[in-house]
Amino acid sequence: SVETLMSSDKEDDPDVIPEDSSLQTLRIRKKALERREETIIVDRACRQETLAYEMESHAIGKRPDNPTDLVEEGELLLTLNIFYPVIFQKHKDHKPYQTVLVLGSQKLTELRDSISCVSDLQIGGEFSSQPDQAPEHISKDLYKSAFFYFEGIFYNDKRYPECRDLSRTIIEWSESHDRGYGNLQSVKMEDYRFNDLFLKIGFPYLFCHQGDCEHIIIITDIRLIHHDDCLDRNLYPLLIKKHWLCTRKCFVCKMYTARWVTNNDSLAPEDPCFFCDVCFRMLHYDAEGNKLGEFLAYPYVDPGIFN
Amino acid sequence: MSSVPGLQADCEELLGAFQEADTVRFERLAELWRERRFHTIFYGRIRALERNKLTKKTLELAQQYFLPPYAFQIRVGALYLLYGLYSTQLCQPKQKIRIALKDWPEIQKFQQDLIDSQHYDAAYIFRTLRLARAFHFTAMPKLLNYRTKKKIQENELKEEFKDPSNRVNSLITNDVLEELMNIHDHYQKMKCVISADKSQPDKALSLIKDEFVITLKDITLEHQEWQQNRMKLFLNAKETDEISNKKEEGALLESEGSERASALARIKYRSYSAVVEASKSRRHRQVKLESAESGSNYGKSPSRSKKNSRRLQPAGRRDAVEIKGEMQVAKETVTRHIGMPIITEEENPDEE
């Protein structure tokens, strides 16, 4: 039994569907291809597709330089879908998500650090009077608390002294009356690895940070690590799929991504209105830096910033 | 994941041809493969991202045939098919075959069977796949994804490929029959003891048929025989007679008796395999005969069988037959669940 029995004898071009094929699959595919060619709807891979393919396959087969970073045999690989908290109408059928691969022996805190959410980068405060002094502190540094919720247990991030137990409110609420929830517990996130957890595949779990920014997490797959996977421990948690969000552009130049948003702006045509940095200053401040007109301005971080 | 259009039909066609060839040799499947040039299934100017997805779906579909409840021959054919698809795929690096943890013991048993029955080519192919690291060992067989399906597709597994699942036999085993016999004897003795005449139970106490255990055994044997016959003849069944014939044949059914078992089986088979030929205007809704395995379809579509029985009642009324009432309940249950062909379309064209 030799493999060559399977391959064709003559050199076939995999791009060309053979004319006389008896396979239904090919007949259907051929029709679709012909239709595509007639209308030239999809001619080449668009940049989103290239990006998606790159993300999926960039880490395949990678090996670490340092042998201690090698992932061992028998390690589990989990595939998690982390959903974005944005709610747009067009997302009603399929909510956008990113897919992350984690190793079973990794701590929960490593996953928490790898989740990039736009709410972490927000800068709070109204800065119409002092646009140059927008502070450098992003919300990620100010509000460090976060928790995961798996199977009735809250895993709180307690690595820093300013982290609070966000889940306490929920636990108190569920214990105050008989609400039908079993014993909810609260433990420290940094003490647990994924191997220690009891998980259900396909069941929605929660990640909450910044007090009220909630992400649903669903585990789609658990499998053993394979020879062809990325075996560099430092690259995990590995992002393999990300939803592409269109960034909001400046209202004036329509070229640059918006960095400021204004409300109650007498100089702007709509409320709220988005501006890039340059256009914002040119419109709202004169040459000496005095505020013109009445408005409230906030620094804006677009969700598409991670593209 | 929505399935690849046409793929299931192609795979089933290949496996069907393999089953008809009635062998488990790899050369045979390789011949069939080459005839159809199956490796071209991946052709067609597909870009990398979609190619990965397509190959994954193909392997997943083929992998389903590799596991029970499919018949041994089909499983061997699926193994060869997996080998072929895995080797001829165009993805670099190759997409793997996902096997769930719960299925591994069965697969290892399967491999052991292969070695024991000296099908060394199949065992060698399995070993080659293992060495080539073609498997992903996963927790769940199907990779989940989260798109709301526009319509829920039910994967109709081809009936002929399955091993006939003999639920009746697994329920009424020899042990069960023996025990029933014992209990029955005990019961009879009890009745004798408490009645006036010590040798015979009172007439007032005879509430059950005395030979019901024997009758039960006969019924199960008959069912098994009938199932085997039907599987054989199913492949040659033609659609000719009217459905009303079924009712007329049904009228000939009398109360049970093991002497009439074979005649019964014959008649039932003939009537239930007949399917009405749709009129020209309804040709596109031609009724197809699907075998109704005792357990497999019943669990899946109970609403269908109920609808079916409801539908048949008016047809029966038309021919003025009260056979259903005459048949003994046990018998009826047996025939209802097994003999009823599941008519695949929603409407019975005959009724219009």
The answer to whether residues B134 and B220 belong to one domain is no
Ranking A65-69, A198-202, B258-262 by mean pLDDT, the lowest is: B258-262
Write the pLDDT tens digit of every residue in B247-267.
Answer: 444 444 433 445 566 666 666
Indicate the residue among B246, B264, B282 that finishes a domain: B264
Indicate the residue among B224, B240, B264 that finishes a domain: B264
ipTM > 0.85 (yes/no)? no
DSSP string for residues in B15-70? HHHHHHHT---HHHHHHHHHHHTGGGGG-S---HHHHHHHHHHHHHHHHHTTSTTB
Radius of gyration of chain A (CA): 26
Q: B245 pLDDT band (50/70/90 cuts)?
A: very low
Is the model more confident about A42 or about A208? A208
What does the alpha-carbon distance between residue A228 and residue A226 come to, in Å, rounded to a whole number? Answer: 5
**Residue B301 within a domain:** no
**Residue B255 within a domain:** yes
Per the structure block, which two tokens stand in for B8? 């299931």
What does the alpha-carbon distance between residue B256 and residue B265 come to, in Å, rounded to a whole number? Answer: 12
The answer to whether residues B123 and B200 belong to one domain is no
Number of domains in chain B: 2
The answer to whether residues B177 and B251 belong to one domain is yes
The answer to whether residues B128 and B227 belong to one domain is no
The answer to whether residues B217 and B179 belong to one domain is yes
Where does chain A hold its CATH 3.10.290 domain(s)?
Answer: 47-124+134-242
**Residue B158 within a domain:** no
**Residue B309 within a domain:** no
Contacts of A33 in chain B (CB under 8 A): 44-45
What does the alpha-carbon distance between residue A261 and residue A293 come to, in Å, rounded to a whole number? Answer: 15
The answer to whether residues B11 and B139 belong to one domain is yes
Average pLDDT (B219-241) is 69
> What residue ranges in chain A does DSSP mark as E strands?
76-83, 97-103, 146-150, 153-156, 185-188, 204-209, 213-224, 238-241, 260-263, 273-275, 296-299
The answer to whether residues B114 and B171 belong to one domain is no
Closest residue of chain B to A55, computed from CA coordinates: B49
What does the alpha-carbon distance between residue A155 and residue B262 come to, in Å, rounded to a whole number? Answer: 68
Is the model more confident about B323 or about B189? B189
| Residues near A185 by beta carbon (within 8 Å), at least 6 away in sequence | A152, A153, A154, A171
The answer to whether residues B140 and B22 belong to one domain is yes
| Cβ–Cβ pairs < 8 A, chains A and B | 132
Strands A213-224 and A76-83: antiparallel
**Residue B60 within a domain:** yes
Name the 3-class secondary structure at B261.
helix
| pLDDT value of residue B201 | 65
The answer to whether residues B186 and B109 belong to one domain is no
For residue B331, pLDDT beyond 50:
no
Per the structure block, which two tokens stand in for B299? 């669990």
**Residue B190 within a domain:** yes
Note whether A201 contacts B139, CB cutoff 8 Å. yes
B6 CA: distance to closest CA in chain A (Å): 4
CB neighbours of residue B173 within 10 Å: 11
Domain A47-124+134-242 fold is 3.10.290
Query: Given A5, A57, A93, which is nearest B30 (Cβ)?
Result: A5
For residue B174, give its domain range: 167-264
